[in-house]
Amino acid sequence: MPFVACSTPLGTSGIAVVRLSGKNSFDVFKKITKTNAKPVHAVSKKYKVYDKKGDVFDEIVATAYLSPKTYTGENMVEISCHGNPVIISKILEICCSYGCTLAEPGEFTKTAFLNGKLDISEAEAVSDIIHAKSVEGVKLGIKNLGGGVSKRIKKIKASILSCLANIEFNLDISEEDLQPNLVKDSLSLVKRVHKKIEYIAKSFKSSSFLVSGASVVISGPPNAGKSTLFNRMVGSNRAIVTEIPGTTRDVVEKDILIDSIPINLKDTAGIRDSKDPVEKVGIKKSKEELVVADVVICLEEKPKKPKKNHIYVFNKIDLGPPSGEYDISISAKNGKNVEGLNKKISSALAVSKSGTEAQITTLRQLHLVLKAKKSLENARKHLSTDLSLELVAEELSQTISFLDMLTEKTTKDDVLDVVFSSFCVGK
């Protein structure tokens, strides 16, 4: 059964796009346009759309895509209609009256995955492209959609598979003693692959900032100038500023860009002992934000044991120089050295935007990579100590199974292919 959905945001616009996908998509399309023309792949034509009474209610441009050369792997039609919500709803209604169902969220990409047009990492990249909060995040999503992550993982799997096949050959097939240097060579390979897996895991934080953004919290005592600094950094008077301590009672936040990195900047209530029940709630929220913050701009003197993700800032330099130790001195009121603070924030996030390699971007991917890394560590331990090749093979198989969840599944035939690929033709 074909399914249909509007692929552009609902609302008034010049053009909207409605997509149909499924085996009978062209049959439905012929009914709503009253045409018998044979669809030609990737060719756009102008049509009229008719309601059930036979009245024309819009003129459209439609493009047919023939299976399997489509996004979903099925026959598809993309309808470019006028972006009036009434027209869009009417097209969806008419399509459903001829046998379509309304698509569920993500159904087009899910169908593409099920039909082998995308692997799971490439499907996740589609979401990254749609929701990325920066251009750099979009670029990363495009790399991953092009198979960037999958290619890296496949190379790693190929190395592990080679090692696993060699060990299983010695365990199950070889009638002689173990091959010379089997353990030594296997250990060397596992160590190399472990480094690659570790690097991929470490890249997650940087890539997730580009796609989802980083949380940066302004913290400090009352009247330290937190709200003034917040307003200066966002470029508008979003937070209320008064000389009365405890003015800020709730978390005020705004999305901004610092050095092309998407930042969710948060102004918080001043932390102090207070009997005011409303202010106490605000202080509690402030402390909660500090726990999950990626970077904290702390308007306080630097302690003897500074916290790792804190930038200690002396504000109000326009009133005089600092008397203690700080990471940077600024004036939020007149903007002096706020750009220097931005550079420190960018440096603290340590986001790499110039790398050419695709990177993992979701927690699901990270958890699988960390599990694979743990299995490799277990394999290395067995190779280094008890020489139990059966346990090594089990851990390598586990590693591959975790990585399979990022790409396509490795089958037993894949292992056998590697085992026998080195045989001569006559054998």
In this predicted model, what pLDDT tens digit does every residue of 174-231 receive, in sequence order?
555 667 788 889 999 999 999 999 999 988 888 888 888 899 999 888 888 888 899 9
Please list the alpha-helical segments (H only) found in 22-132. 25-33, 85-97, 107-114, 120-131
Give SS3 for 320. coil
Give SS3 for 404. helix
The pLDDT tens digits of the residues spanning 62-118 come to 999 999 999 999 999 999 999 999 999 999 999 999 999 999 999 999 999 999 998
Give SS3 for 297. strand
Residues of the chain with CATH 3.30.1360.120: 3-114
Q: Which amino acid is at 41?
A: H
Give SS3 for 83. strand
pLDDT of residue 424: 42
Six-digit token pair at 253?
Answer: 């936040």
The pLDDT tens digits of the residues spanning 288-313 come to 778 888 999 999 999 989 988 999 99
pLDDT surpasses 70 at 121: yes
Phi then psi for 88, rounded to 5 degrees? Answer: -60, -50
Query: Is the domain 212-349 a CATH 3.40.50.300 member?
Result: yes
Please, are residues 325 and 301 in contact by the beta-carbon 8 Å criterion? Answer: yes
Residues of the chain with CATH 1.20.120.430: 148-208+359-420
Maximum Cα interatomic distance, the chain, rounded to a whole number of Å? 90
The pLDDT tens digits of the residues spanning 165-188 come to 888 888 776 555 667 788 889 999
Give SS3 for 40. coil
| Rounded distance between C-alpha atoms, residue 17 and residue 74, angstroms | 18
pLDDT of residue 50: 96
The pLDDT tens digits of the residues spanning 132-162 come to 888 888 888 888 888 888 888 999 999 999 8
Average pLDDT of the segment spanning 43-56? 94
| Rounded distance between C-alpha atoms, residue 3 and residue 324, angstroms | 66
Six-digit token pair at 374?
Answer: 């743990």
Six-digit token pair at 331?
Answer: 């004036």
Please, are residues 255 and 262 in contact by the beta-carbon 8 Å criterion? Answer: yes
Six-digit token pair at 414?
Answer: 């894949």
Phi then psi for 368, rounded to 5 degrees? Answer: -70, -40
pLDDT of residue 2: 94
Q: Which CATH architecture has domain 3-114?
A: 2-Layer Sandwich (3.30)
| Rounded distance between C-alpha atoms, residue 29 and residue 417, angstroms | 46
For 148-208+359-420, CATH gives 1.20.120.430
Q: How far is CA 169 from the centre of its chain?
A: 39
Please, are residues 257 and 241 in contact by the beta-carbon 8 Å criterion? Answer: no
Residues of the chain with CATH 3.40.50.300: 212-349
What proportion of the chain, given as a percentage, has pLDDT over 90?
A: 49
Pairing of strands 252-258, 261-267: antiparallel
